[in-house]
Amino acid sequence: MFDSLSDKLSVILEALTKRGALKEADVEDALEKVRVALLDADVAIKVVKDFISSVREKAIGQNILKSVTPGQMVVKIVHDELTTILSGGDELDTSINLSSTPPVTMLMIGLQGSGKTTTTAKLASLLTRRENKKVLLSSLDIYRPAAQQQLAVLAEQINVRCLDLILGEQPIAITKRALQTAQLEGFDVLILDTAGRLHIDDTLMQEVASIRDVAKPTETLLVADAMTGQDAVNSAREFNEKIGITGIALTRVDGDARGGAALSMRAVTGQPIKFIGTGEKTDAIEEFNAERIAGSILGMGDIIGLVEKAQQVVDEEDAERITKKMLRGQFTLEDMAEQLRQVKKMGSLEGLLSMLPGAQKVKKQISDHNLNDGMISRQEAIILSMTLAERRNPKILNGSRRRRIASGSGTSVQDVNRLLKQFKQVSSMMKKAGKKGKRGMGLGLGNAMIPGMTPPGIR
């Protein structure tokens, strides 16, 4: 569904990630393009406005532009904001509430042809097979010829019980009989499929309201067709105001809808999308996952994962402080220990590097230096076994102290000496780089440096 929007956003954002430094104007320019892309995708104007101003505030307001990878940061911000508009920003539970006293009753409502009957069968199938629930279906659509038979046929296909039909019975009477049957025969879930109308009209609303009053449903799901864009969103708002809904099932997500309905639904109606219909078959249904959809719209999972990981562990200010010290030749073993910790917290070096573009060269450097996760832990242990004074001024370390530190850290004197040598190399390299006015780059992750490894461009 999001193909076209996804293509446009990828082009706009990839251009940002390919540039090193970003100016405010670059971000503004990209945001303007994002705005047009969202409007083209038929996203509600208010939603687009809020989205753009939120991204702008986060991208320009914070220190993102000064960070090592501003383009990637912007991608991450856009991703998070997309997730927020899809989910409403809170941790609203999007699964169906199955915890009330059985039979848990679900009322399916919506405009004509939106997919109510199909979705009823899909849900029944999902609940039976995955949740092991005993499900009863009942059609209250006495208006469209063969509507009740349609549900009965689907129910038979998926091996789920459908309430027997009694000719001429009215919707309220059917509802009562369905509830009674469900109670008497120990069904866990009762799903009531209602009749649709071409447009929302009072008669329809009144009938649905009285069915609701009798059925007292745990879930009232509005079934809306994604292909109808903002009309689907408006119908959801109206149904919510007049009937009260607990969630939305968005159908025909497999079609070439532009995505506007999905992206506006939560913000405009205040109700969560709980399911998406992805085809005509009874198994073509998925639970709605805002994060996953945002990810598929942007299609830049690697970048997002990487920024998240780096954000978790690298304190930008710390990194900057350390870089400055390095360049002034004031880099101490304490700083080095801090960097080792950051590298370690990011998970395995291999895993981290495999996410970085162009990391193959660095990987080779690492194996050349025999640098691995175990070694990082040993180096950290060595530094931690020193006194504060020693960390700040390793020159005072004599032979006996080195032996003590080796035994304290479970390493050998050679290991201690090697670390001290590496530290000396790194600091003198940094000093040189500082004089040349270059920034130490390290791995480029918040300036985290891997000691013992020559920073690119400095020889």
Ligand X SMILES: Nc1nc2c(ncn2[C@@H]2O[C@H](COP(=O)(O)OP(=O)(O)OP(=O)(O)O)[C@@H](O)[C@H]2O)c(=O)[nH]1
Chain residues binding ligand X by CB under 6 A are 110, 112-118, 141, 144, 147, 196, 223, 251-252, 254-255, 277-280, 284
User: Between the CA atoms of 348, 351, 355 and 361, what dihedral angle is there, to the nearest 10 degrees?
Assistant: 90
What is the identity of the amino acid at 24? E
Residue 347 partner contact from Mg ion, ligand X, none using kind-dependent CB cut-offs of 5 to 8 Å: none
Beta strands, E only, 30-157: 104-109, 135-139
Sign of the CA dihedral with 124 first, then 125, 126, and 129 last = positive
User: Between the CA atoms of 17, 86, 294 and 230, what dihedral angle is there, to the nearest 10 degrees?
Assistant: -90
- In the bound complex, which residue of the shown chain has the CB atom lying closest to Mg ion? 117
What is the identity of the amino acid at 145? P
Q: State in angstroms the smallest separation of the CB of 3 from ligand X.
A: 15
Residue 114 partner contact from ligand X, Mg ion, none using kind-dependent CB cut-offs of 5 to 8 Å: ligand X
Q: For Mg ion, give the closer residue by CB, 144 or 325.
A: 144
Q: What SS3 class is residue 44?
A: coil
Q: State in angstroms the smallest separation of the CB of 268 from Mg ion.
A: 25
Alpha helices in 270-359 (DSSP H): 290-298, 301-313, 316-327, 333-345, 349-355
Q: State in angstroms the smallest separation of the CB of 254 from ligand X.
A: 5
Q: For ligand X, give the closer residue by CB, 193 or 380.
A: 193
Residue 89 partner contact from Mg ion, ligand X, none using kind-dependent CB cut-offs of 5 to 8 Å: none
Residue 188 partner contact from ligand X, Mg ion, none using kind-dependent CB cut-offs of 5 to 8 Å: none
Judged by the rule CB under 5 A, the positions of this chain that interact with Mg ion are 116-117
Q: For ligand X, give the closer residue by CB, 112 or 425.
A: 112
Q: State in angstroms the smallest separation of the CB of 186 from Mg ion.
A: 27
Q: For ligand X, give the closer residue by CB, 256 or 302.
A: 256
Token pair of 370, please?
A: 């025999």
What is the identity of the amino acid at 324? K
Residue 254 partner contact from Mg ion, ligand X, none using kind-dependent CB cut-offs of 5 to 8 Å: ligand X
What would the DSSP string read from start to end of 218-280? SEEEEEEEGGGTHHHHHHHHHHHHHT--SEEEEE-TTS---SHHHHHHHHHHS--EEEEE-SS
Q: State in angstroms the smallest separation of the CB of 117 from Mg ion.
A: 3
Q: For ligand X, give the closer residue by CB, 12 or 111.
A: 111
Q: State in angstroms the smallest separation of the CB of 281 from ligand X.
A: 8
